[in-house]
Amino acid sequence: MKPATLDHRSDVLQNSVVVFSNNYLPMSRVNIRRAVTLLVSGRAEPLELETNLFWQLRSPSVTIEVPHHIRLRVSTAERLWKVPPVSRRELLRRDGHKCQYCGAGKALTIDHVIPRSRGGGHTWDNVVIACERCNGKKGDKYLNETGLALKTKPKAPMHPAVAFAESFWQNRPMPE
């Protein structure tokens, strides 16, 4: 069972497999080739959810069934992850490079929801990306004095694995 013998033209290879950690936390997606490597080397095993779904890889001599979900057999020492300090780069990423008041994607600045002059902190739950126009409109006022409204409530970025796990379960179709 060598992945190298697989049909390279197969569209199946375009698909991906969800990798669960040893303690059943969905962690990431890998391509089929990587999944096969993990399975063949014994570092992962098929994970059975409510349905048993497989991608079928065919070559002239062999057919391999690759489960849609695999689980690592070894526990991955969860790397230490700390909430990053507030920075323009992280903030742009969190807010999707969009003004959190009007959705504009240009002339972006950092706005303190509770103005610093009124005691607001430079913390994840008090900073948002805002375009110059909205930031100017807001100035040193509280939100309720401006007529502006936030699209989302600002919060600290999540651990990447936790964020993946959340979206995995949220986007999962209900079992039939």
List interacting residues with Zn ion (CB under 5 A). Answer: 99, 101-102, 104, 131, 134
Tokens of 88: 């323009």
d(CA 141, CA 21): 47
* Cβ at position 118, least distance to Zn ion in Å: 21
CA distance 64 to 53: 13
Nearer to Zn ion, 53 or 149 (CB): 149
> Do residues 113 and 150 lie in contact, with contact meaning Cβ atoms separated by under 8 Å?
yes
For Zn ion, give the closer residue by CB, 127 or 131: 131
Q: Give min distance, CB of 139 to Zn ion, in A.
A: 13
Shortest Å distance, C-beta 169 to Zn ion = 33
Residue placing its CB nearer to Zn ion in the complex, 64 or 128: 128
Which amino acid is present at 28? S
Q: Could you tell me the smallest distance in angstroms from the CB atom of residue 107 to Zn ion?
A: 9
Closest CA to 18 of 165, 174, 176, 175: 165
**In this complex, which beta carbon is closest to Zn ion, that of residue 35 or of residue 129?**
129
